[in-house]
Structure 1
């Protein structure tokens, strides 16, 4: 597993030079090639600058930086890569140029050398299909910026030799990266798993569940996700994100689980790309603007009486009840000004009907991600304006960030997190990657506070299933069909990470 000592990198752009840098820092000899020698010079200078920053931040010594830089050699001919044990391409993200390059590299390299592609979206199988020895071809997909994003996907195509995968996993560890092994499938692990977050965020916005800044704030403050889905789309740019969403949906033959919403392409056509265009879901026309949407300012509470159920499917959890004035609770809903319920698999409208409540006085509170850190209130068409105001002030008067949304089964945070967990379960069911690797990839590359399987186990598989079933029942949309992996483990009371038995 240590036979790879010389690495060739084709393409000196951001990804190529980053791969060259981490390989050189890991003790390997690197030959960097690009069709433009000017690009190679710029790439090596960028590596020199990045290593200098690492020295300035005391992340490495000057001697270590000098040694790493000395291991990177510029070459001006592909034939100079003939003695490399591994060549990784990081050229333009188009199939035909990559295929042409691999055919040429095969004529140069020894039969035992490994060919790797850093593709983020193309089929590794298709790239390898033009090679005489597709068994030595694999994906080795890094994330930008390579030296700081400590994750790499090792993609095994159907004809990739197991030894090639094992060698790339070992090499990844040597250069300081966590390798996750994935089959060759649309989006691999990270881009596949990320569909649940941004796509569901857009779906909630398209349903007018709440304004973009409210959705983002709920997911940041209540769910603890570093960046809201609309903020994230503004950062990456719709010109990048929309084609990825549409490509994965197309590659899965129109599976509704990956279906984008029309809102995204409409905004793309309007030029509302995000930060790069100065206007996206947020306005970036003022320099240095970082959108941070907060809840309303604290307001004094309104004198009101309350009732909430203490048992049954819509009962308030103790964590929410503790935030409410116990002396204002009445013995029956008929005696109260505000009726507060906490449904999980239903929306507020269905809960009102099921419990026979007065809709004008009813409001729902998120029982899963609601706490002193933040509370989400859900209203329906029957909820009176004075009910909304009274309930909102009950929490804001205690300095609890409070967000109001329209009727939606699963609220916002539980719905989005359940979709993340369900999609990860579908990935495990398809054998795309293991639960442990999916969790690691999501934490490292997407910045979620937990991996989807960890998150699902903490919430409970049965609760996640209940949310997905509620969404599926309400919308009748195949997007929300529960994954068989989730259904079986929920029924059996097993961890979502429990592996299938081999047959």
Structure 2
């Protein structure tokens, strides 16, 4: 199939932020756009606002004056719902209510031609359910844009059980023609983004609940080490806790109370209190006049250790690829590191574990594998054990999170802090929680993405594209798993499951298969 011809009329139902954004993109792509809303004045305002946006683009030399004038001329107010009769594609962007959407599409079936594609911009309602009572359910498809539509590249093209494959392909190709990055998805709860993103919020809330650190510190770790644009708490404050909590509840209920999607009591309390985030002036943080952003916790300056070594098992992979990146950072910043084979006896390390490790002043320093540092110290019979967190790019990260075993001496811990500080990191101490912050979050994001692929919701590339283009993740979760090592991700999840005794951290069957075969998600 091919994209809609530019001569085809596109109708948009609903002139709110989403509807107006869709109309703006479609008109700029060359289509005549019929915009309809039950409030005629809202349509006129939307068209005027879109014209202003086009003019701003002209001012920034991102659009020619002629193109802006032509695009504005293509925006037309529909004269009643019957005014969309000639449309080849109708995109609905109205209230998130199943009955209201069904009623609208039933009315549209009596107005538009039989070859007109009907698309819903729903973010959470089953496309199958919306189409179920239509005379021709095969022509209804999900076309889920992200807000703000002109700036966000992703479109989830969602097929219900009855959706004709050719209809989905036409919408997919049309999205490309409109300058978007579409991905195919099956109509399941949360589709791709709202499902796969749940662990980003959930693991942050768990870390806070377990007093790993305060919200501002966890946010800083996720930004400055994980590479995410916003930490989970500032992002939930931006979205609104009523909205974020409602989506989590919806996905949790739709999956019959799967513990992987369990909502947080902390967020429920915020909603109960009316602390909804930025829009109410208070969420995890305070907003408005006089409010100041809380500072993240960083360890005080410590002396650089006199001796540092790095040991790795010959032929090792997975964790060593990550720790080698840390080694490179140390060396680039002038930290002298002696290289040794794992298990080679020397005076500065007594660890019994054959895993990539740094050693300084008696401390053994490992990339977290999902165990607490305390448990790892007991397993190793090496009290002075410290674990460090994952970073998206150790060469560029400005912060790193670490945790010390309860048995670890103050002197050994201080030496580890001094080591990372000498390499230019701000060091954040987290309480000794399993998997720390970035690692456990990335492991859970990858696990959820793998499960979505395993269940035929989307492809591996589709999952990664959706999370990068839809919520601006620094790397697709499955590409991230490939980089860290699928075996490492599976090990972290297994250890998290053992630590908590919960099915929440069960490993996706597809992740297990990749682990067993040694294959990656992306060739």
Mark yes or no: TM-score above 0.5.
Answer: yes
CA contact under 8 A between 2:226 and 2:392: conserved in structure 1?
yes
Shift of 1:195: 0.9
Deviation digits for residues 61-104 of structure 1, max 9, x if unmatched?
A: 11101100111110231111111111111111111111111111
Tell whether 2:239 aligns with 1:248. no
**Unmatched tracts of structure 2, length 5 or more:** 339-345, 352-358
Cα 1:98–1:319 change in 2 (3 A) is: closer
Alignment correspondent of 1:301: 303
176, 186, 196: which one aligns with 1:193: 196
Query: 106-115 or 340-349, which moves further after superposition?
Result: 340-349
Query: 274-283 or 127-136, which moves further after superposition?
Result: 274-283
324, 327, 348: which one aligns with 1:331: 348
Alignment correspondent of 1:432: 457
Counterpart CA distance in 1 for 2:10 and 2:349 is: 73
59, 81, 88: which one aligns with 1:85: 88
CA contact under 8 A between 1:295 and 1:401: conserved in structure 2?
no
Alignment correspondent of 1:340: 364
Alignment correspondent of 2:118: 115
Q: Aligned pairs, how many?
A: 493
1:356-435 → structure 2 map (5 Å cutoff) = 356-358=381-383, 361-366=384-389, 371=394, 373=397, 374-385=399-410, 387-396=412-421, 399-435=424-460
Tell whether 2:495 aligns with 1:470. yes
**Unmatched tracts of structure 1, length 5 or more:** 499-503
Shift of 1:188: 1.0
RMSD: 2.6
1:51-66 → structure 2 map (5 Å cutoff) = 51-66=54-69
Cα 1:63–1:319 change in 2 (3 A) is: closer
Counterpart CA distance in 2 for 1:331 and 1:100 is: 73
Counterpart CA distance in 2 for 1:207 and 1:363 is: 19
Matched position secondary structure for 1:376: strand
Matched position secondary structure for 1:310: strand
Counterpart CA distance in 1 for 2:410 and 2:273 is: 35
Query: 380-389 or 459-468, which moves further after superposition?
Result: 380-389
Deviation digits for residues 338-361 of structure 1, max 9, x if unmatched?
A: 523314242212211111123xx4
Shift of 1:29: 1.1
Counterpart CA distance in 1 for 2:277 and 2:260 is: 25
Tell whether 2:234 aligns with 1:209. no
1:70-219 → structure 2 map (5 Å cutoff) = 70-219=73-222
Deviation digits for residues 437-481 of structure 1, max 9, x if unmatched?
A: 111111111111111121111111111111111111111211110
CA contact under 8 A between 2:275 and 2:282: conserved in structure 1?
yes
Cα 1:59–1:348 change in 2 (3 A) is: same
Matched position secondary structure for 1:406: coil
Counterpart CA distance in 2 for 1:286 and 1:14 is: 27
Counterpart CA distance in 2 for 1:355 and 1:367 is: 21
Alignment correspondent of 1:501: none
Alignment correspondent of 2:512: 487
